[in-house]
Amino acid sequence: MMPDSYDFIAAYLKLSKEALRVKIQRAEEILTSCTLCPRSCKVDRTAGEKGFCKTGSKPLVSSFNPHFGEERPLVGERGSGTIFFSRCNLGCLFCQNWTISHNGEGSIISFDALAGMMLSLQNSGCHNINLVTPTHQVPMILRSLEIAKDMGLKAPIVYNCGGYESIDTLKILDGVVDIYMPDIKYSDPDVALKYSKAKDYPQVAKAAVKEMHRQVGDLVMDERGIALRGLLVRHLVLPEGLAGTEEIVKFLAEEISPDTYTNIMAQYYPCYQAAGLPPLDRRTTGEEYIKAVKAAQRAGLKRLD
């Protein structure tokens, strides 16, 4: 039997004020010698030093709006309440949001303003608060969430990330995030280095997804098919099998769960610097996409978006 949405209570609402405050303090302490993500730049972001993500200690946001282009369990009838954070801890040379992630398009805002965005999205009827590219801004998000919680925020929190996550940071988020939605981009370290400047990406992403699943389990939806809690994995099919789909779907089915809700994505097209990086200079073919979906089915994944 599916849970009723009216019985659902977001994870962060179950935290005491003291427990949430401890998480905020732990996250903010990390900013003084930043190891929020696996790059471990160890710069003092509170003193204006900038690491790989080029972000300081205040929220840096590009936009926020109800979004209807996300996965069906997030969108429902009223949309997913997305907040797009600027900058990123990955360096993907084919990034489809490169003006935001690479160029830093956006504005520094206050914690109160970020909390206000969350509440505005909830008040517009969105089914969740979808934090897009949040990894390098976890302390800012937590502080703003504390404010929004006190002002009546109740919607589930979606952590929509690139999969390049620190286990220590994820443990701080345990009991805060309701839905984890990571990418798993690559299975080959050399490909990850060449296209996202992160050779350790495959091992890091696999460990991160295991921790996410430990925290929230398989995706649970209500009677309307709206996601309430759990893991939702995205995998973008790249030309000529560069993403290593077969290894990734095998990992999900065997080491996470055959019930892992997985979106095998077909929308790759050349962006940012991809035009000069064959075979990324062309779209994925229908044949390549079908091959990826069949690999997922053979691996035993039962819930494909």
In a domain, 27, yes or no: no
Mean pLDDT of 118-123: 98
What pLDDT score was predicted for residue 5? Answer: 58
Indicate if the pLDDT at residue 1 is higher than 50: no
What are 25-74's pLDDT values in tens digits?
999 999 999 999 999 999 999 999 999 999 999 999 999 999 999 999 99
Distance of CA 126 to the CA centre of its chain: 18
What sign results for the dihedral spanned by CA atoms 55, 53, 165, 119?
Answer: positive
Mean pLDDT of 158-181: 98
Kindly give, in sequence order, each residue whose CB lies less than 8 Å from that of residue 204, ignoring residues fewer than 6 positions away: 38, 163, 164, 165, 198
Indicate if the pLDDT at residue 4 is higher than 60: no
Tell me how many domains the chain contains: 1
In a domain, 10, yes or no: no
HEC sequence for the chain: CCCCHHHCCCHHHHCCHHHHHHHHHHHHHHHHHCCCCCCCCCCCHHHCCCCCCCCCCCCEEEEEEEECCCCHHHHCCCCEEEEEECCCCCCCCCCCCHHHHCCCCCEECCHHHHHHHHHHHHHCCCCCEEEECCHHHHHHHHHHHHHHHHCCCCCCEEEEECCCCCHHHHHHHCCCCCEEEEECCCCCHHHHHHHHCCCCHHHHHHHHHHHHHHHHCECEECCCCCEEEEEEEEEECCHHHCCCHHHHHHHHHHHHCCCCEEEEECCCCCCCCHHHCCCCCCCCCHHHHHHHHHHHHHHCCCEEC
What are 235-245's pLDDT values in tens digits?
999 999 999 99
In a domain, 36, yes or no: no
Residue 26 exposed, middle or buried by CB count within 10 Å (0-12, 13-18, 19+): middle
What are 72-101's pLDDT values in tens digits?
999 999 999 999 999 999 999 999 999 999
Using 50, 70 and 90 to split pLDDT, how confident is the model at 173?
very high
What are 176-212's pLDDT values in tens digits?
999 999 999 999 999 999 999 999 999 999 999 999 9
Tokens describing residue 207: 């460990």
In a domain, 14, yes or no: no
In a domain, 241, yes or no: yes
Indicate if the pLDDT at residue 2 is higher than 80: no
In a domain, 140, yes or no: yes
What pLDDT score was predicted for residue 6? Answer: 63
What pLDDT score was predicted for residue 7? Answer: 84
Q: For the chain, what percent of residues have pLDDT higher than 90?
A: 97
CB 282 within 8 A of CB 240: no
Cα separation, 101 vs 178, whole angstroms: 24
- Mean of the per-residue pLDDT values of the chain: 96
In a domain, 19, yes or no: no
pTM score, whole prediction: 0.97
Q: Which amino acid does the sequence have at 208?
A: A
Cα separation, 239 vs 287, whole angstroms: 10
The whole domain housing 297 covers: 58-304
In a domain, 143, yes or no: yes
What are 270-279's pLDDT values in tens digits?
999 999 999 9
Q: What is the CATH number of the domain that holds 236?
A: 3.20.20.70
What are 140-155's pLDDT values in tens digits?
999 999 999 999 999 9
